[in-house]
Structure 1
């Protein structure tokens, strides 16, 4: 039987304009590997805790702080808990509380000779780490877009001159996914 590929749409909740990615991942990936895909696709640096919620069940890294009651994400394959049309959630950074909505848009057989994972498409740069959640990110984008904003210069210095909230490169993201997943 050919390997199944899941086409996922990852959307960052609470952010306008939308930050989203469309990726192809093997259905045999564990949730731990899918965590790495989400991290790289959005542009996170994996500095904080995370969980998946699928059909009311929490998955993550158990025992990190003794507080989280989660099933071990290393023991669960994507194709064992989801199918086409399935929706689930990924939360990253319990301080800033970044919620990601994930949708399984399609499931199909892997193409012969094709490498996975792949980023097909997306829009806008992901937020920088520790920006203060969706509200902090909206403030950052507004300040960067307005040179007259009272926090424009300080936030530009903090985030760095190379950060462009409107930029996204699917090819670069695919390179990162293939290198680190």
Structure 2
């Protein structure tokens, strides 16, 4: 079977401004590699557990204690569980519960002389880790935008620099993704 490239639209649920990425990945990638692509593309730091829900099945890193019933993502290729038009969920950080809607927009042959994975488009900065999910992120944005808020200095200090919620650079993301290969 010829190598196929999957064009994925990854959208972080329930946040404003909208955070989304368009990434292109080889269909032969295991779900573990797709996880790493999403982490880099979105801007997460891979500090928490994650899972995929595809066609009613849960995939992720197997739980040694058996509390989470996840199929091993290292054993499942993307092209074996989804096709063009498929939708699935990727959840990151079971405490903050960041849900990502993923749509397979296109499946096709690789472009000549193009290295994959790559990020072709996107919008907005990823929320900082551990801000409390979508609700906490909305509160975080309100506090960092208001220097009069008593929590302002503390919240700004958590991100280390001025946080721009609409900042996004597809070229930088592609550079990060190239480190995966």
TM class by shorter chain equals over 0.9
Cα deviation for residue 163 of structure 1 reads 2.9
TM-score, length basis structure 1: 0.95
Preserved contact between residue 12 and residue 19 of structure 1 (Cα < 8 Å): yes
RMSD: 1.3
Q: How far, CA to CA, are the matches of 1:64 and 1:161 in structure 2?
A: 38
Distance in 2, Cα, partners of 1:13 & 1:162:
24
The alignment's TM-score, normalised by the length of structure 2, stands at 0.95
Q: Kindly state the Cα deviation for residue 65 of structure 1 after the two structures are TM-superposed.
A: 4.1
- Confirm whether residue 141 of structure 1 aligns to residue 141 of structure 2: yes
1:74 matched residue in structure 2? 74
Unaligned residue ranges in structure 2 (runs of 5+): none
Which whole-Å deviations, capped at 9, do the CAs of 1:144-169 have from their partners, x for residues lacking one?
A: 22333332222111211143221111
1:23 aligns to what?
Answer: 23
Q: Is 1:10 aligned to 2:10, yes or no?
A: yes
- Structure 1 residue ranges without an equivalent (≥5): none
Asked if 1 retains the 8 angstrom alpha-carbon contact of 2:17 and 2:166, the reply is no
User: Which sits farther off after the overlay, 148-157 or 72-81?
Assistant: 148-157
Query: Is contact 1:49-1:94 (8 Å) kept?
Result: yes
Report how many aligned residue pairs link the two structures. Answer: 181
Aligned residues of 1:9 and 1:104 also touching (Cα < 8 A): yes
Q: 2:99 maps to which residue?
A: 99
Q: Given that residues 5 and 108 in structure 2 are in contact (C-alpha distance below 8 angstroms), is that contact kept between their aligned partners in structure 1? A: yes
Hey, what's the Cα distance between the residues in 1 that align with 2:123 and 2:57?
Answer: 29
Aligned residue in 2 for 1:170? 170
Residues 88, 103 of structure 1: 8 Å contact kept: yes
Hey, what does 1:43 align to over in structure 2? Answer: 43
Contact 1:2 1:110 in 2 (8 A): no
- Per the TM alignment, residue 143 of structure 1 is displaced from its structure 2 partner at its CA by 1.7
Q: For 1:20 and 1:150, locate their aligned partners in 2 and report how far apart those are by CA, in whole Å.
A: 31
Give, in whole Å, the separation in 1 of the partners of 2:65 and 2:31.
19
